[in-house]
Amino acid sequence: MNALAQEAAPLRWRRGWAVLGVLLMAATAAIALLPATRRLTAMALALPAGDKLLHMLAFAALMGWWGNLYHRPRPRLGVAAACLLFGLLIELAQWPHNPRDASVWDLAADALGLGLGALLLRTPLAGVLACIERVLGLQPERR
């Protein structure tokens, strides 16, 4: 376990953060699957590899979120595996729908995003949710 994980305070609102994480995943799935979200992604899709950039950013955010809840290496590995499975399920759900399509490259971008998120969790970003709790007065001040 790295020094940042040892410093992270336990979260008092752990269940609430987990519920928000599930809602974040639901929003990710909705953006990926619902036809009404095409406008949201149109600008990124106009960029070269913009779709892959969206995948990377979304999955880096998911890894960062869940990595703030789980600080030990083994649970984080489980989080990464669960998020990759989530990405695979999204790709499978997109398969029969035009103009969206399943792509192994999207899944690769998801995996790269998870790796980026894991790297960012080696920085003070690993304690963002604990910091928010402290700022909101939900955790005692550190000494």
Q: What is the mean pLDDT of residues 130-140?
A: 85
pTM of the model: 0.83
* % of residues, the chain, pLDDT over 70: 79
Question: Got the DSSP string for the chain?
Answer: --HHHHHPPPPTTHHHHHHHHHHHHHHHHHHHH-GGGHHHHHHHHHSTTHHHHHHHHHHHHHHHHHHHH--SHHHHHHHHHHHHHHHHHHHHHHTTSSS----HHHHHHHHHHHHHHHHHTTSGGGGHHHHHHHHTT-SPPP-
Name the domain count of the chain.
1
Tell me whether residue 4 is in a domain. Answer: no
pLDDT, one tens digit per residue, over 82-99 is 999 999 999 999 877 665
Is 142 within the bounds of a domain?
no
Q: Is residue 44 part of a domain?
A: yes
Domain with 41 in it: 13-135
Q: Is residue 38 part of a domain?
A: yes
